[in-house]
């Protein structure tokens, strides 16, 4: 159920031999992500439960889900970019159907993140699913 952009990441990961290369890939993917407008970094967009500062700003247009995001930690910014690839462009009603744990598991991310980072990713996913569920009910 993952987006085409996420499938591209999965393909790229298949060619990367070790975790350090994959880690660099995630960091570079985050660096390439367009910066989030500073005006959107407000308490209502902040994700709690993350060790670093994280902001997610959902955008739902014509029933299609997308979001902007940012973090003060470079690896977390990369993880946000990966989550954007996983969810952005999906119909808002399909966002909650994505098994993020399984999809991220395809990348091996769940095996290589610290407990704090894993909790932060879970918090981001929960926020994404919550926003999409609310939008689906409107």
3-state helix, strand, coil in the chain (%, to 5): 60, 15, 25
C-alpha Rg value of the chain to the nearest Å: 14
The residues facing 20 across adjacent strands are none
Instruction: Decide if 50 is catalytic.
Output: yes
Structural tokens at position 112: 């290589």
Structural tokens at position 127: 């926020």
Q: Which of the residues 2, 9, 33, 50 is marked catalytic? A: 50
d(CA 40, CA 129): 19
Residues serving a catalytic function are 50
């Amino acid at each position: 159920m993952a987006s085409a952009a996420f499938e591209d990441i999965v393909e790229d990961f298949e060619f990367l031999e070790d975790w350090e290369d994959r880690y660099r890939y995630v960091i570079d993917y985050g660096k390439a992500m367009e910066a989030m407008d500073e005006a959107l970094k407000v308490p209502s967009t902040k994700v709690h439960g993350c060790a670093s500062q994280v902001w997610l700003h959902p955008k739902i247009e014509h029933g299609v889900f997308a979001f902007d995001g940012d973090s003060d930690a470079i690896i977390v910014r990369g993880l946000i970019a990966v989550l954007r690839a996983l969810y952005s462009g999906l119909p808002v009603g399909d966002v909650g159907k994505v098994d993020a744990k399984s999809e991220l598991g395809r990348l091996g991310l769940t095996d290589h993140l610290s407990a704090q980072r894993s909790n932060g990713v879970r918090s981001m996913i929960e926020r994404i699913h919550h926003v999409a569920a609310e939008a689906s009910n409107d």
